[in-house]
């Protein structure tokens, strides 16, 4: 019985033919050394061609200074040890070689991202990588990855800033004499059409360059590739959220110049509420930005807005002080007027003629009475004028000076950041 089973197993093995693919794998991997570079025997650096297809770019975080990318990372190189088109018994097999176990037995470039913070290889529903070997020894290695990259941002012109964030690719262990990465000549970094990034204009182009000269020590150099993304921030959100509301607050604070100086509660409340609104807006803005050692464009905007509202309050205090000073001077003049009237009244009374006086005395008495009536009328006008609330000359001037200064400030602010700075950041 045992002999019969052994005979049957031997017959089955003889009937199963050895496929060309199996022979190919056995032939190629029999003497393959994964620790040896493909061109090490030739004493030349192994050249690996790199390209990326960006699937998504998102979460450009100003506060933490990083951004995320979903991409297909492709690497291509030639490994002469894997070529079989020159072998007589295998040259008729022209299909590319694919097997899941190739990743563990072949030499692979030790590519890493210098500015990468973390990332992962997609594994749903199967590890998302492709390793393919062609008859001439060409190898294609493709992976779907998600990476979080660090980006050092300059926020001096925020929120009208232009940020340049890069991807820095290098070899972790090999020097430039052993391994060299190069960008693919045609479309080294592919972008989706009109790639939309939150807060920024659509991303359409990316700049690629070789930065090997920048990554070297006194003795050795390392391979380096960079892809630079340029993000132009859109101003619309910040106009609606910060700029336009703060402009309206400033305009409302200027209305206090038309409120009478006697209405102290109304004017002070209007100024303090405007100041409180601006401080609340400024503090909200600061929570969305990192702590930096320089002032940003939005900082300068709120700083001058607060200065304008503070000047409105200071102007009211100065106007009150000037009115009180004028009232003291006018009070002294009123005392003199009253004394003068009293003296005139006494003079008229003392000169009243008797009933049977002469015609000349009667004429003189009538003249004195007319003079007294004139003085009383003047006193009445003065009293009525004093009842009307005084209008500050400083308020009348401020109604034009403050809005004019604010308009001039806005012209210089927007001209500088939207024209001069933009031309400096984009000289082309």
The superfamily (CATH) of domain 237-425 is: Neurotransmitter-gated ion-channel transmembrane domain (1.20.58.390)
Summarised one tens digit per residue, pLDDT across range 148-200 is 999 999 999 999 999 999 999 999 999 999 999 999 999 999 999 888 898 99
Pick the CATH number of 18-234 from 1.25.60.10, 3.40.50.720, 3.40.50.1470, 2.70.170.10: 2.70.170.10
Measured distance CA(59)–CA(258) in Å, rounded:
48
Strand bridging mode 97-98 / 189-190: unpaired
Measured distance CA(337)–CA(43) in Å, rounded:
114
User: Does residue 15 carry a pLDDT above 50?
Assistant: no
DSSP code for 427: -
Summarised one tens digit per residue, pLDDT across range 39-54 is 888 888 999 999 999 9
User: Does residue 205 carry a pLDDT above 70?
Assistant: yes
For all residues of the chain together, what is the average pLDDT?
84
pLDDT of residue 390: 63
Domain ranges in the chain are: 18-234, 237-425
Measured distance CA(20)–CA(231) in Å, rounded:
52
Cα torsion for 4, 6, 9, 15, to the nearest 10°? Answer: -80
Name, in order, each residue with C-beta under 8 angstroms of 223's C-beta and a sequence gap of 6 or more. 170, 171, 174, 176, 179, 180, 181, 212, 215
Q: pTM for the whole thing?
A: 0.78
Residue 404's DSSP bridge partners are none
Summarised one tens digit per residue, pLDDT across range 365-409 is 555 565 556 555 555 554 444 445 567 788 999 999 999 999 999
């Amino acid at each position: 019985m045992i002999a019969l089973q052994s005979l049957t197993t031997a017959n089955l093995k003889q009937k199963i033919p050895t496929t060309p693919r199996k022979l190919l794998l056995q032939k190629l991997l029999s003497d393959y050394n994964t620790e040896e570079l493909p061109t090490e025997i030739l004493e030349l650096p192994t050249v690996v061609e790199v390209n990326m297809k960006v699937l998504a770019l998102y979460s450009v975080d100003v506060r933490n200074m990083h951004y995320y990318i979903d991409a297909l990372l492709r690497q291509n190189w030639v490994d002469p040890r894997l070529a079989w088109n020159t072998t007589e018994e295998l040259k008729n097999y022209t299909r590319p070689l694919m097997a899941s176990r190739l990743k563990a037995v072949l030499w692979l470039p030790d590519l890493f991202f210098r500015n990468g913070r973390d990332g992962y290889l997609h594994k749903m529903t199967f590890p998302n990588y492709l390793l393919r070997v062609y008859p001439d020894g060409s190898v294609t290695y493709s992976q779907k990855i998600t990476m979080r990259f660090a980006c050092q941002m300059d926020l001096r012109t925020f929120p009208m800033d232009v940020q340049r964030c890069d991807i820095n690719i290098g070899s972790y262990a090999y020097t430039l004499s052993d391994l060299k990465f190069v960008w693919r000549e045609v479309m080294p970094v592919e972008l989706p059409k009109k790639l939309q990034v939150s807060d920024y204009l659509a991303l359409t182009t990316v700049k690629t360059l070789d930065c090997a000269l920048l990554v070297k020590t006194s003795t050795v150099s390392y391979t380096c590739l960079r892809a630079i993304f340029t993000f132009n921030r859109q101003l619309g959100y910040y106009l609606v959220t910060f700029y336009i509301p703060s402009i309206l607050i400033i305009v409302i604070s200027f209305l206090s110049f038309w409120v009478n100086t006697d209405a102290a509660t109304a004017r002070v409340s209007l100024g303090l509420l405007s100041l409180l609104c601006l401080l609340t807006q400024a503090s909200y803005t600061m929570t969305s930005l990192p702590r930096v050692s320089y002032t940003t464009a939005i900082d300068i905007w709120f700083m001058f807005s607060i200065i304008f509202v503070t000047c409105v309050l200071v102007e009211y205090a100065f106007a009150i002080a000037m009115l009180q000073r004028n009232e003291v001077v006018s009070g002294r003049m009123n005392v003199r007027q009253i004394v003068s009237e009293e003296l005139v009244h006494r003079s008229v009374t003392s000169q009243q003629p008797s009933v049977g006086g002469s015609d000349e005395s009667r004429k003189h008495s009538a003249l004195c009475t007319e003079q007294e009536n004139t003085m009383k009328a003047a006193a009445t006008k003065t009293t009525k004028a004093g009842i009307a609330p005084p209008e500050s000359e400083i308020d009348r001037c401020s109604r034009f000076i403050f809005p004019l200064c604010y308009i001039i400030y806005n012209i210089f602010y927007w001209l500088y950041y939207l024209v001069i700075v933009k031309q400096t950041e984009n000289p082309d």
